[in-house]
């Protein structure tokens, strides 16, 4: 297995692999160009975003926008990401149609070994994140590796989501818990 294949499978991988470094450098260049766009450069912005994500999208993403690779992110139609969102896509991130994500939100698939000796070896791993349709995620929320957020759920601003959120449930806090 290549390091990319290991990474996408959620297995331990070496992030310093030359192919992974090249993919991150590509994403960094495209992010820099995308984040430098201004209102009114819609066609140019859309082309840069399509290059970054590896496909055209009907999502709206307000710069700045930050990713590890970009090409492991699947956005449904009419997804909205406000300013300053971070998606660390070492594994697949899927966001369903009409989901709205507030400013400064972080969606993380990247993870590290809990054992210090394993961390010292320089390996990493990840877990995919799935966010359903018609979800609202308030500003500054943090979605951790391996989390699934169900359709129609609401994540309160500043929440740290450590566990799956069922369809239609509202959660808030650190760690995020259902509101009654």
Contact 150, 169 (CB under 8 A): yes
Q: What are phi and psi of 125, to 5 degrees?
A: -155, 180
pLDDT above 90: percentage of residues in the chain: 95
Reply yes or no on whether the pLDDT at 42 is more than 90.
no
Reply yes or no on whether the pLDDT at 17 is more than 90.
yes
pLDDT of residue 74: 98
Confidence of residue 5 (pLDDT cuts 50, 70, 90): very high
Query: What are 137-156's pLDDT values in tens digits?
Result: 999 999 999 999 999 999 99
Residue among 69, 64, 40, 34 nearest 54 (CA): 69
Specify the pTM.
0.95
pLDDT of residue 90: 98
Residues with catalytic function = 112
Burial 23-46 (b: 16+ CB within 10 A, else e): bbeebeebbebbeeeeeeeeeebb
């Amino acid at each position: 297995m290549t390091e990319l294949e290991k990474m996408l499978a959620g297995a331990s991988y070496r992030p310093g692999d030359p192919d992974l470094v090249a993919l991150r450098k590509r994403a960094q260049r495209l992010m820099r160009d995308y984040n430098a766009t201004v209102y009114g450069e819609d066609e140019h912005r859309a082309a840069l975003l399509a290059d970054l994500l590896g496909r055209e999208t009907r999502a709206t993403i307000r710069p700045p926008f930050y990713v590890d690779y970009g090409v492991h992110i699947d956005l449904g139609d009419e997804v909205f990401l406000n300013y300053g969102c971070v998606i660390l896509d070492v594994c697949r991130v899927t966001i369903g149609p009409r989901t709205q994500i507030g400013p400064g939100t972080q969606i993380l698939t990247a993870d590290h070994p809990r054992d210090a000796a394993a961390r010292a070896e320089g390996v990493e791993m990840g877990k995919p994140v799935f966010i359903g349709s018609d979800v609202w995620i308030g500003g500054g929320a943090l979605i951790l590796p391996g989390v699934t957020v169900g359709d129609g759920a609401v994540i309160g601003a500043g929440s740290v989501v450590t566990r799956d959120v069922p369809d239609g449930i509202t959660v808030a806090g650190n760690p995020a818990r259902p509101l009654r």
